[in-house]
A and B are shown apart, each in its own frame.
Chain A
């Protein structure tokens, strides 16, 4: 277990020392979400209607920004080889990498979402549902993204391929995540959507590190 916490601590430390990478994704999220109300105009009903979709699409794209660098620096400087050769199972180490990625790219989005949601005239309850949906959904984005990042590791033009590979897999998270907020606003209750999102997350927590590990081993051959 120590090795996993060491990986998380190291990745957070590295992010602290090169802040620009983390901040880029966060600023991207803030700016994209803020541009919509400015572009569409002050129509409260319309803004409330598009808010969940806009926030979720922006969250997907913001997560995509840092995805390619999830394993690339470790691959480049040989740390990945040492991770494969570590006595700790690679799946657990990869779990640590994914956790660190979520802490750096997912958690800030969850915390910022309610502030940005205010621009769209969402009420407090809807903002709560939005946060909960993002709390369940953003780890899912990191987990699925890790598979794509590992599969495209070391490829030329891997960035474009990564988007083509990962964005379709993000569709269920987008539908249920944005759907939860919409269902809440229309009075249907968000429980159904949130449970499905949680089920997807449970599935991904189980399978994604395993698939990522297999892809990383292939990349190193």
Chain B
């Protein structure tokens, strides 16, 4: 269970938000909404530990995330604005490298299954720079299948995706929640996933 209390974020001279409380339990998801520049991405970066809050604290299963360190990072997956996908590497190599970075073994079969699930069949050995923006996004999202994490933190996961991919991703998030997972995501679209709470910044 992820909880945060009294989160305040200051960027430069400007205070983006103050006193944010949130809680996400197993099977629940949080939809972070707000205008451009309201601090959605900053909130997500605070939650995963890339930034430190000016005030407030974040807890995972009751313990402060700062103290949990690697233990928290092992159970959490963050997909940001940038792809973290290398243009020169093939889609398959990208997935294998991402898994290695997590310290996990990724069997070839699972990697291929994840790519096929996101409609990248026949493009396993293609360098990512030959793919379209939406397909690049799909390579990134294939990590959701290969990486076992309890908490997903997704920044604008629906950007550049076509209708079919949006449905696939929604189904995937639904499965994840059904299995007791948690998710925090930002999106400007209405989300076709049940059981979410909205946090308006």
Question: Residues on A close to B: CB < 8 A?
Answer: 2-3, 6-7, 10, 13-14, 17-18, 76-79, 81-89, 93, 220-221
Contact = CB atoms under 8 A, between A and B. Distances in A.
A10 B89 contact: yes
B101 A83 contact: yes
Interface of B: 48-52, 70, 73-74, 76, 78, 80-89, 93, 97-98, 100-103, 127
A90 B73 CA distance: 12
Nearest to B70: A87
24 contacts: A3-B100, A3-B101, A6-B97, A7-B101, A10-B89, A13-B93, A14-B89, A77-B85, A77-B86, A78-B80, A81-B78, A81-B80, A81-B84, A83-B101, A85-B49, A85-B73, A85-B78, A86-B73, A87-B70, A87-B73, A88-B70, A88-B101, A88-B103, A89-B70
The residue among A76, A83, A88 with the most chain B CB atoms within 10 A of its own CB is: A88
Contact of A77 (B48, B84, B100, B102): B84
A23 B29 CA distance: 49
Contacts of B78: 81-82, 85
A82 B98 contact: yes
B82 A81 contact: yes
- The binding surface of chain A is classed by DSSP as helix
Most buried by A among B50, B76, B127: B50
**Max chain B C-beta neighbours (<10 A), residue from A14, A79, A85:** A85
B82 A78 contact: yes
A78 B83 contact: yes
A18 B82 CA distance: 21
The 9 closest A-B pairs by CB, nearest first: A78-B82, A6-B100, A78-B84, A17-B88, A87-B74, A87-B70, A82-B84, A86-B101, A79-B84
Nearest to B127: A17
